[in-house]
A and B are shown apart, each in its own frame.
Chain A
């Protein structure tokens, strides 16, 4: 089990280091940079939608809004 974990960590480290070539080049990201491609275009409205649902439903969490970057800078 520990050996598998170490192999997985080594693979991840080598991939993060220099292994993988980005398969979507920076100059191919013009569509992704458009606000239309965001999961949540207006954070204030998205937060309100979650509040409305969580007050009335039993489920909570993991509903959108992870919202971290588009890798287009």
Chain B
């Protein structure tokens, strides 16, 4: 069965840790002859950042724009669906192109759907203010999925993703820090450009369940296990509840919990600088040991239309509160502490999505 025909326009905003990212997004899907479905999307991030990384490195607040376009097509042939898509992302110092292919097939009276997908990502990394900096990154993603109807009220999804990267994986603006004198922390610390491995391979597997309750509501649960060859192991769990009120209104509640270990080459404070290009050093909080939680509430309104251009319209407002607690990433903006004894960093963020949808 082809995806439904709909057009979505969304405003999104993330605000937390000195970073504000907002912008519009549009997604349009049109079907032809009940066998072909074509979609196109446009997405913009307007970034304004004075994050802990920017402040700690002595840089000043910066602004940038990332624009993403994508087109895709799904072709239904019997009980098989063939999909292909291209996504292009453009910002002043990062260009990314992703080409994806997929196939899925229904078995056992359409109770089971097996799917396989492959995506090739080709990125070009540059650095603002340094015309000689030019690096590449290739990424291969392999996905296996099973969707299973278990009972008339219970469905399950299993997904496995293998992702492997080769190329420039650093952030060219980030630094690690090391003690100026390893025997005397009071002598302070210095920064140096991070040294990352040039490959990364990760495995992620997840299970999702969704159950229809006796009243007009559904509960969902998700668990994901993640591991990679940088030494990061992560667990993600999510619970959700959706409740339909007075036919046209839907309330969505969601709680998500995430925790990860740090990469092998991550340290908040190194004793020495890197000795050579294989002596990896990183101090990105994204690869440190931390956990975060998300509380989410959403309200949707949907009603039928008698209009030649669409049969239903909807509006959704969703608010997320995210809380990050770092276990091994200290807040360098706090003064009066010896290196390594600064308090751990924390950040809270607010995320808002406002979505308008037309079904036709």
| Complex alpha-carbon distance, A51 and B108, angstroms | 34
B226 at the interface (CB under 8 A from A): yes
User: Does the CB pair A44–B27 fall under 8 Å?
Assistant: yes
Q: How many residue-residue contacts, CB under 8 A, span A and B?
A: 168
Q: Chain A binding site: helix, strand, loop or mixed by DSSP?
A: loop
Contact A39 B157 (CB under 8 A): yes
Total count of chain B residues near the partner, CB < 8 A: 72
Residue pair A73, B286 in contact (C-beta under 8 Å): no
Least Cβ–Cβ distance between A41 and chain B, in angstroms = 8
Residues of A near B216 (CB, < 8 A) are: 36
In-complex Cβ contact of A48 among B12, B218, B242 (8 A): B12
Contact A68 B115 (CB under 8 A): yes
Residues of A within 8 A of B334 (CB): none
Q: Is B10 an interface residue (CB 8 A)?
A: yes
Question: Judging by beta carbons under 8 Å apart, are B224 and A59 in contact?
Answer: yes
Find out whether the CB atom of B355 lies under 8 angstroms from the CB atom of A42.
yes
Minimum C-beta distance from B303 to chain A (A)? 14
In the complex, whether A7 has a CB less than 8 A from a CB of chain B is no
Contact present for A36 and B107 (CB under 8 Å): no
**In the complex, residue of chain A having the shortest beta-carbon distance to the beta carbon of B351:** A52
Which residues of B have CB within 8 Å of A32?
149, 152-153, 155, 212
Q: Is the pair B108, A58 in contact by a Cβ cutoff of 8 Å?
A: no
Do A52 and B202 touch (CB < 8 A)?
A: no
Q: Bound state CA distance, A60 and B10, in angstroms?
A: 24
* Closest residue of A by beta carbon distance from B27: A44
| A50→B148 CA distance, assembly (Å) | 23
Among A43, A66, A71, the residue within 8 A (CB) of B157 is A66
B113 within 8 A of A: yes
Residues of chain A within 8 A (CB-CB) of B355 are: 42, 44-45
Q: Known contacts being A57-B292, A63-B224, A66-B145, is A44 close to B41, with CB within 8 Å?
A: yes
Would you mind naming 23 contact pairs between A and B with Cβ atoms under 8 Å apart? A21-B109, A32-B152, A34-B212, A39-B210, A42-B8, A42-B316, A45-B316, A57-B258, A58-B226, A58-B232, A58-B263, A59-B204, A60-B161, A61-B161, A63-B206, A64-B208, A66-B145, A66-B147, A66-B159, A70-B155, A71-B149, A72-B1, A73-B110
Sort A-B residue pairs by CB-CB distance and give the 7 closest, nearest first. Answer: A22-B109, A61-B161, A71-B110, A62-B204, A59-B226, A59-B234, A73-B1
